[in-house]
Structure 1
Amino acid sequence: MATTAAALHILVKHKNQAEDILRQLKKGAKFQTLARKHSICPSGKKGGDLGEFRRGQMVPPFDKACFKGEVLTPQLVKTKFGWHIVKVLYRT
């Protein structure tokens, strides 16, 4: 079972905006470019890069997506902060 993961994310307030960003990613848009443009999280300035973190360090829905979801496939996650488009880079 993985104990650490690394991920990129884009945080927005509304589901329809998150879905639109996800569509753009599926059409080939660059994740980091969209993060810099749309994310309301401070990590947006770094292209959405959260670096490496441990299991349990993030809020539960985000943590579950990072440790159980697909790697390298952007996915939508709802948390108390808003809507995240999460792209897990790897798990160790």
Structure 2
Amino acid sequence: MASTAAALHILVKHKEQAEEIINQLKKGAKFQVLAKKHSLCPSGKRGGDLGEFRRGQMVPQFDKACFTGELLTPQLVKTKFGWHVVKVLYRT
């Protein structure tokens, strides 16, 4: 079972906006560009890069997505902060 993961994310307030971002990604938009443009998280300035983190460091819904979701496929996650578009890069 993986104990660390690395991910990119884009945080927005509304589900519709998160879904639109996923559609743009499917059409070939660059994750980092969209993160810089839309993300409400300070990580947006780094293209949404959260770096590597340990299991249990993030809020539960986000943690679950990062440790059980598909790799490299943008997914939608709702937390107390808003809606996240999450792209898990790898797990170790």
Q: TM-score range by the shorter chain?
A: over 0.9
> Structure 2: how far apart are the matches of 1:65 and 1:25?
18
Trace 1:8-87 onto structure 2 (pairs within 5 A): 8-87=8-87
Aligned residues: 92
- Which residue in 2 is equivalent to 1:4? 4
> Structure 2: how far apart are the matches of 1:59 and 1:40?
16
Q: TM-score, normalised by structure 1?
A: 1.00
Deviations 1:38-69 (A, max 9, x none): 00000000000000000000000000000000
Identity of aligned residues (%): 86
Using the TM superposition, give the Cα deviation of residue 5 of structure 1 relative to its aligned residue in structure 2, in angstroms.
Answer: 0.1
Using the TM superposition, give the Cα deviation of residue 14 of structure 1 relative to its aligned residue in structure 2, in angstroms.
Answer: 0.2
Aligned CA RMSD, in angstroms, stands at 0.2
Q: Which runs of 5+ in 1 are unaligned?
A: none
> Structure 1: how far apart are the matches of 2:18 and 2:36?
14
SS at match of 1:56: coil
Q: TM-score, normalised by structure 2?
A: 1.00
